[in-house]
């Protein structure tokens, strides 16, 4: 049943469709200290193990996705799939890219006996935060320790983010790639969440881009 | 730029930048200073001695200290919306263009007519207000309080909204070091070298603490070199973070500390997007408090005249700021500390008239300073200080040998010993311990994980500070698992710091203990005489130590005087409770960015954009912003819009966003059994593809929530909850699943945010749906009967769920699509259904229709109503157990006189009913004992053409047809109403089934 949405679909609306990005780099000394992006809406399924079936569900997921689901607050990545720990015996599997629909059917089939599957593709807004001051910005938003020593790549937490409940994680390390923090919050709170991240980041020289900004600039390019 | 003269600036020295002159004004007068000055040092350099007027007596006051303990020199800083009252001039870093005004004087600081209060000083003694303004009682608010507020007080708050930003932030560390003096720098070095994550906070802009003012030698080099090297090394250590301009103001549970960082207070205004202040919540595994000590004054007659100053402050001004705070100095000391000031003044070329030392026998070191500097010694005490608003004219000295002497001086330095800054160590309720050898309180029994070192621990010698700080830092780091090599501590001589305290020299004139609250030694004696013997009572009766400076220069002295009056020892007298904050800070910093409309988050519905573009007014409903009605051109009132929307639903078709309802996905082999235990009615028998209305109770038997739950598959249900209880029901179910019945195999997940859900209601609703549901899906009444559900696709392949449920009472559906498509679905329905007369309707119309149908909502499910009270008794299963069943059968909840749901119509149909009106029997007087219940929901029913209401009334189920008064004294409402069935419209439900 979970048809995976095509994000270029004009019937589809991103959670921050009414928001225009921000650029304070020039006003704060010319250096971009933080980059903030609204991520395209990934397909997402919640996998909740049946009673006593956590190991079986975990093994089934590992088989389908090619990465072991974390048993503690953390995120694992394999190909176009990201597996976010969401509680004991619960994982949120985010599926990017064209194969998402097929992937999601495979998960459903593989965990038929061991887990309940819930489509949560439209429930959230995902923000990506990078740049030398990303940790400073996070320290304004969450009350957990996001220092490199305590929150290495692959760490995740379910926590309060500027009065909103959500997930925060640091993407698993990839050689040559800069560190990117992700914030996942409820869709209806998207504008409030965005506001608080922007306000915390502006002082460091912020470049903030929503999905709608991307679409608008794409339109402009096309017009050119 | 014209630089005003600085007649008291010394020619050499200081850590000010003479290459960077700064202009500022004080009470409109143009003055100047240098970068590196505080406002206080710049005022003194300019020869300004009168800095403020006191709280009660409006006595002229000068700058008394050089730090955050300042009781006198409070100013209004900046102007307009940025005006900040009660700012301590001693902590304000000077910037170009600074504007400061003195406070609590009229018409000017120099000529303050309120100084007449001083003439009536006997009336203003401790307890004056309590005794005087008692009668008549109503005069307190109307006359006395406004009068007192005008006469007494400090600065004026700004009237405009604060234009600045504030931030809240969290930091974690292994070792927090509070205070960056010699002990703190040593602690940070030891912990940092060992590999610990270290935070070093200091209130000052520069690290070094007293070293910045007192100099000295460390490791055989000038202290300033050692500071520079230490700061450079700390800056280079990857785990160490230096936080200057940051005051740690409170120690809380679990190693949590509160701190305020003054990010932009040293600038004329913050840089673009920069917060003015940042409130830090610091979580530390270990803390080393090296907060130093505060010098204490000596209480003696005339001690509040401008020009009287702490001896350590005199050294700060001379050494750090290159300012002579006077021309001719005298020093009154009870120990070696005053002699250090004499040496400093002498070295700067200032004239020291005499040092008055209270000790009969002087140590050799002090005699040596006297001999070297040629300073006369008087063994005795200062008996009285003479002077006025222009400062000290003369001090009288009484020698131990009986002789007296007058000294013509304009500055008197007081050195009464040191009070270790024990506040943070005592915030958990620990009482400090009295140490007789240094005549001071030191920490005793610390909060878990805290160490205290250096002067804050009573270690007043430099060598001892360096050693103890280093050891504390090393040990703290080691306890957090960082035991790397940390080298050795720096070394310095242990200078003598002997002192034998003199608290109070009694005499004829006023001798102030607490300058900021104008509390004198006599006030403390009076409080004791009137029976306020406990130190806590004395504090409250006299207000000693209750001003913005928190009594930093007065508390210990005050209790020493109380001890003497009471004939007790100081430890017997004890201290008052220490409470955060150590320093005052702004509410703005506490609030951070969560102000105005950002106090709470705002939730946006999936169709918000369409509604905003189509005339919707929005209303806050909890955190949600929801459309309340959609006004059309020409409509004169919201009621007109609302009535039109109701008629459209009743006659054609309307559409309303109901996405805010809570939605919970429930799966698992035991899902049906789980729901049977949660709801009063049975769900395990619900056929697949059908929905059922359910009611759940709280454990105590009262109604908790209601909604429809559908069965999607044998082991898969979808529950809906009310908007208001969406989160609470989820919590309730999680609790039931995890704690009450872990044996059930059930998985639950919130999907509230996943689905945009539109109610499509009215006789033409099926026709409207047909325009968006893809061909090939049968949505006929046979396929989707009342309470049937169907999986369909809409708008060319978007997966959707169709529920044939009705809240309005009409033939109606709710259509759910993934949230990203909600807005497009709304737009498509409105466009394609135009010929059917499709109309968007808002919260108001929805509410009208649910009242017309007698559906209970939050107003009725108010936590005091049972299922029986709400007319839902026949839903309650007798054949199974469920949450709340037992408690719902308590006698009190079955009592016949309980308030039941009923409908109400005004007997005179033109009258308006109002929610909140109470029911009275006709002819009964309006008193609480005659209360029969109250109106819970009312509206104008466009369907019936008059006002209608729902309410809870005693024995309501049996009283249909009775008449009662609906009495509303708050809004002058008094309407005779007729009790009726709560369902006003289509009582047999034919419209929704048809």
Long-range CB pairs of B428-434, under 8 A, 24+ apart, other chains included: B428/B251, B428/B253, B429/B577, B431/B574, B431/B575, B432/B575, B433/B571, B434/B569, B434/B570, B434/B571
Only one residue has tokens 């049906």, namely: B672
Mean pLDDT of B944-954: 98
Whether ipTM > 0.85 holds is: yes
**C-alpha–C-alpha distance, residues B594 and B266, integer Å:** 24
What does residue B712 show for φ and ψ, rounded to 5 degrees?
Answer: -90, -30
Interacting residues of B134 by C-beta distance below 8 A, sequence separation 6+: none
Give the residue on A whose Cα is nearest the Cα of B818: A122
Interfacial A residues in 124-183 facing B (CB < 8 Å)? 124, 139-140, 142-145, 147, 149-150, 162-164
**C-alpha–C-alpha distance, residues A195 and A102, integer Å:** 35
The crossing angle, in degrees rounded to 10, of helices B535-542 and B555-566 is: 120
**How many Å is the maximal CA-CA distance in chain A?**
59
Residues of B in contact with A116 (CB under 8 A): 665, 667-668, 716, 747, 749
Beta bridge partners of residue B103, listed in sequence order: none
Structure tokens at B982: 């709560």
**C-alpha–C-alpha distance, residues B647 and B630, integer Å:** 14
Question: What pLDDT digit, counting tens, does each position of B354-390 carry?
Answer: 999 999 999 999 999 999 999 999 999 999 999 998 8
DSSP for B787-827, please give it: TBEEEEEETTTEEEEEE---SSSSSEEEEEEEGGGHHHHHH
pLDDT at A97: 82
- Please tell me which of the candidates A10, A49, A122 has its beta carbon nearest to residue B819: A122
Ranges assigned E (strand) in B271-417? 275-289, 293-295, 308-310, 328-333, 351-357, 377-388, 391-399, 404-407, 411-415
Q: Give the three-state DSSP class for B937.
A: strand
The crossing angle, in degrees rounded to 10, of helices B521-529 and B555-566 is: 50
Interacting residues of B125 by C-beta distance below 8 A, sequence separation 6+: B522, B523, B526
Residues of B in contact with A101 (CB under 8 A): none
pLDDT at B148: 67
pLDDT at B56: 83
Question: What pLDDT digit, counting tens, does each position of B45-69 carry?
Answer: 999 999 988 888 889 999 999 999 9
- Determine whether the interchain pair A13/B273 forms a contact, defined as Cβ–Cβ distance below 8 Å: no
Q: Number of A to B CB contacts under 8 A, please give it.
A: 139
Structure tokens at B499: 């002192």
Angle (nearest 5°) at CA B354 between B350 and B358: 135
pLDDT in tens, chain A (224 residues): 334 444 458 899 999 999 999 999 999 999 999 999 999 999 999 999 999 999 999 999 999 999 999 999 999 998 899 999 999 999 999 998 888 888 899 999 999 999 999 999 999 999 999 999 999 999 999 999 999 999 999 999 999 999 999 999 999 998 889 999 999 999 999 999 999 999 999 999 999 999 999 887 766 655 44
Share of chain B above pLDDT 70, in %: 96
Interacting residues of B422 by C-beta distance below 8 A, sequence separation 6+: B432, B441, B442, B443, B452, B456, B578
Interacting residues of B779 by C-beta distance below 8 A, sequence separation 6+: B766, B769, B770, B773, B790, B792, B802
The pairing of strands B899-906 and B918-921 is unpaired
Structure tokens at B379: 């063994």
- Determine whether the interchain pair B271/A203 forms a contact, defined as Cβ–Cβ distance below 8 Å: yes
CA-CA-CA-CA torsion for B106, B110, B112, B116, nearest 10 degrees?
A: 170
Band (B250; pLDDT cuts 50, 70, 90) = very high
pLDDT at B414: 97
- Determine whether the interchain pair B799/A199 forms a contact, defined as Cβ–Cβ distance below 8 Å: no
Structure tokens at B27: 């009470």
Q: CA torsion sign, B370 to B375 to B377 to B383?
A: negative
Number of Cα atoms under 13 Å in the Cβ half of residue A107: 35
Mean pLDDT of B667-677: 98
Only one residue has tokens 């697949």, namely: B688
pLDDT at B153: 64
With 80 as the cut, is the pLDDT of residue B147 above it?
A: no
Angle (nearest 5°) at CA B458 between B455 and B459: 65
Which helix or strand (DSSP H or E) is residue B213 part of? helix B211-214
Ranges assigned E (strand) in B400-435? 404-407, 411-415, 418-420, 433-435
Residues of B in contact with A147 (CB under 8 A): 172, 197
With 70 as the cut, is the pLDDT of residue B673 above it?
A: yes
Cβ neighbour number for residue B991 with a 10 Å cutoff: 18
**How many Å is the maximal CA-CA distance in chain B?**
117
Band (B3; pLDDT cuts 50, 70, 90) = low
- Determine whether the interchain pair B604/A190 forms a contact, defined as Cβ–Cβ distance below 8 Å: yes
pLDDT at B442: 97
pLDDT at A224: 45
Q: Is A150 left (phi over 0), alpha (psi -120 to 50) or beta?
A: alpha
Interacting residues of B990 by C-beta distance below 8 A, sequence separation 6+: none
Give the residue on A whose Cα is nearest the Cα of B756: A122
Nearest to B991 by CA among B774, B812, B865, B867: B812
Structure tokens at A168: 């925060």
Question: What pLDDT digit, counting tens, does each position of B536-549 carry?
Answer: 999 999 989 988 88
Distance from CA of A135 to the nearest CA of B (A): 11
């Amino acid at each position: 049943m979970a048809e995976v949405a095509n994000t270029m679909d004009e019937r589809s609306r991103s959670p921050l469709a009414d928001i225009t990005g921000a650029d304070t780099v020039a006003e704060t000394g010319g250096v971009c200290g933080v980059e903030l992006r609204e991520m395209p809406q990934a397909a997402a399924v919640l996998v909740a193990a049946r009673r006593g079936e956590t190991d079986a569900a975990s093994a089934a997921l590992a088989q389908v996705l090619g990465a072991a689901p974390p048993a503690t607050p953390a995120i694992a990545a394999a190909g176009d799939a990201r597996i976010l720990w969401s509680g004991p015996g619960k994982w949120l599997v985010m599926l990017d890219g064209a194969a998402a629909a097929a992937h999601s059917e495979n998960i459903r089939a593989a965990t038929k006996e061991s887990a309940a599957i819930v489509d949560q593709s439209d429930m959230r807004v995902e923000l990506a935060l990078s740049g030398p001051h990303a940790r400073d910005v996070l320290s304004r938003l969450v009350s957990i320790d996001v220092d490199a020593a305590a929150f290495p790549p692959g760490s995740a937490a379910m926590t309060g983010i500027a009065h909103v409940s959500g997930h925060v994680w640091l993407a698993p390390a990839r050689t040559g790639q800069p560190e990117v923090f992700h914030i996942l919050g409820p869709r209806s709170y998207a504008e409030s969440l965005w506001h608080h991240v922007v306000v915390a980041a502006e002082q460091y020289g912020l470049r903030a881009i929503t999905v709608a900004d991307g679409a608008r600039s794409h339109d402009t390019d096309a017009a050119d | 730029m014209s630089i005003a003269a600085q007649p008291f600036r010394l020619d050499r020295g200081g850590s000010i930048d003479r290459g960077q002159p700064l202009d500022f004004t004080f009470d409109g007068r143009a003055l100047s200073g240098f970068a590196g000055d505080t406002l206080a040092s710049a005022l003194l350099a300019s020869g300004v001695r009168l800095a403020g007027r006191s709280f009660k007596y409006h006595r002229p006051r000068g700058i008394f200290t050089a730090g955050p303990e300042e009781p006198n020199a409070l100013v209004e800083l900046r102007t307009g919306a940025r005006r900040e009252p009660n700012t301590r001039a001693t902590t304000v870093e000077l910037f170009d263009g600074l504007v400061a005004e003195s406070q609590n004087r009229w018409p000017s600081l120099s000529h303050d007519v309120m100084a007449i209060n001083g003439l009536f000083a006997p009336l203003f003694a401790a307890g004056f207000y309590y005794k005087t303004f008692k009668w008549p009682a109503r005069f307190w608010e109307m006359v006395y309080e406004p009068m007192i507020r005008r006469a007494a007080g400090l600065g004026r708050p700004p009237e405009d909204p604060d234009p600045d930003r504030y931030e809240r932030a969290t930091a974690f560390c292994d070792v927090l070091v509070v205070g960056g003096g010699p002990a703190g720098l040593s602690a940070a070095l030891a912990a940092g070298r060992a590999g610990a994550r270290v935070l070093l906070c200091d209130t000052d802009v520069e690290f070094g603490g007293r070293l910045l003012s007192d100099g000295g030698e460390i490791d055989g080099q000038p202290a300033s070199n050692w500071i520079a090297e230490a700061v450079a090394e700390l800056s280079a250590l990857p785990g160490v973070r230096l936080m200057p301009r940051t005051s740690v103001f409170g120690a809380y549970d679990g190693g949590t500390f509160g701190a305020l960082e003054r990010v932009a207070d040293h600038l004329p205004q913050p840089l673009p997007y920069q917060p003015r202040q940042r409130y830090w919540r610091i979580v530390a595994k270990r803390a080393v408090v090296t907060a130093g000590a505060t010098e204490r004054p000596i209480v003696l007659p005339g001690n509040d005249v401008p020009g009287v100053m702490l001896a350590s402050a005199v050294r700060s001004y001379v050494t750090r700021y290159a300012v002579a705070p006077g021309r001719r100095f005298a020093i009154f000391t009870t120990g070696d500390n005053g002699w250090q000031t004499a040496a400093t003044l002498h070295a700067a070329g200032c004239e020291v008239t005499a040092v008055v030392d209270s000790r009969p026998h002087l140590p050799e070191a002090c005699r040596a300073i006297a001999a070297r500097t040629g300073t006369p010694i008087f063994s005795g005490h200062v008996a009285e200080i003479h002077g006025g608003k222009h400062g000290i004219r003369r001090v009288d000295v009484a020698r131990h040998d009986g002789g007296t002497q007058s000294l013509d001086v304009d500055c008197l330095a007081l050195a009464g010993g040191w009070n270790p800054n024990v506040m943070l160590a005592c915030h958990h309720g620990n009482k400090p311990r009295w140490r007789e050898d240094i005549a001071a309180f030191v920490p005793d029994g610390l909060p878990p994980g805290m160490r205290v070192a250096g002067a804050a621990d009573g270690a007043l010698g430099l060598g001892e500070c360096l050693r103890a700080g280093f050891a504390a830092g090393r040990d703290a780091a080691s306890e957090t698992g960082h035991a790397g090599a940390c080298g050795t501590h720096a070394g310095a001589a242990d200078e003598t710091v002997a002192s034998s305290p003199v608290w109070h020299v009694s005499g004829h004139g006023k001798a102030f203990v607490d300058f900021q609250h104008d509390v004198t030694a006599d006030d403390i004696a009076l409080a004791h005489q009137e029976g306020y013997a406990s130190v806590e009572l004395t504090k409250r009766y006299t207000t000693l130590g209750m001003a913005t400076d928190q009594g930093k220069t007065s508390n210990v002295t005050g209790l020493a005087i109380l001890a003497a009056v009471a004939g007790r020892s100081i430890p017997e007298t004890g201290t008052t409770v220490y409470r955060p904050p150590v320093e005052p800070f702004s509410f703005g910093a506490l609030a951070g960015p969560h102000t105005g409309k950002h106090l709470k988050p705002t939730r946006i519905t999936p169709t918000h954009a369409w509604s905003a573009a189509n005339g919707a007014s929005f209303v806050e409903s909890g955190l949600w912003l929801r459309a309340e009605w959609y006004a059309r051109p020409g409509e004169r009132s919201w009621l007109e819009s609302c009535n039109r929307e109701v008629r459209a639903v009743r006659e054609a078709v309307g559409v309303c966003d109901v996405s805010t309802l809570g939605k919970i996905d429930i799966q698992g082999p035991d899902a049906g059994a789980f729901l049977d235990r949660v709801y009063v009615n049975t769900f395990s028998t619900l056929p697949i593809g059908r929905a059922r209305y359910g009611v759940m109770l709280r454990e105590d038997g009262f109604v908790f929530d209601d909604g429809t739950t559908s069965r999607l598959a044998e082991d898969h249900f979808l529950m809906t909850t009310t908007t208001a209880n969406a989160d609470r029901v989820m919590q309730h179910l999680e609790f039931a699943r995890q704690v009450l019945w872990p044996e059930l195999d059930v998985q639950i997940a919130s999907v509230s945010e996943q689905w945009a859900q539109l109610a499509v209601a009215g006789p033409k609703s099926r026709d409207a749906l047909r325009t968006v549901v893809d061909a090939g899906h049968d949505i006929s009444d046979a396929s989707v009967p009342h309470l049937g559900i169907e999986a369909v696709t809409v708008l060319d392949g978007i997966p959707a769920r169709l529920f044939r449920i009705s809240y309005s009472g009409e033939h109606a559906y709710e259509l759910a699509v993934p949230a990203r498509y909600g807005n497009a679905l709304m737009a498509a329905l409105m466009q394609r259904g135009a010929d059917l007369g499709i109309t968007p309707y808002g919260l108001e119309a929805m509410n009208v229709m649910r009242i017309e149908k007698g559906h209970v909502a939050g107003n009725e499910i108010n936590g005091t109503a049972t299922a029986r009270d709400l007319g839902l008794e026949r839903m309650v299963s007798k054949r199974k157990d469920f949450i709340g069943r037992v408690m719902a059968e308590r006698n009190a909840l079955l009592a016949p006189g309980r308030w039941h749901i009923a409908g109400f119509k005004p007997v005179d149909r033109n009258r308006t009913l109002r929610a909140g009106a109470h029911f009275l029997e006709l002819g009964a007087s309006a008193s609480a004992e005659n209360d029969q219940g109250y109106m819970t929901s009312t509206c104008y029913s466009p369907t019936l053409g008059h006002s209608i209401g729902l309410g809870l009334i005693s024995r309501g189920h049996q009283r249909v047809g009775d008449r009662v008064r609906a009495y509303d004294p708050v809004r002058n409402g008094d309407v005779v109403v007729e009790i009726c069935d709560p369902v006003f419209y289509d009582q047999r439900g034919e419209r929704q089934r048809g």
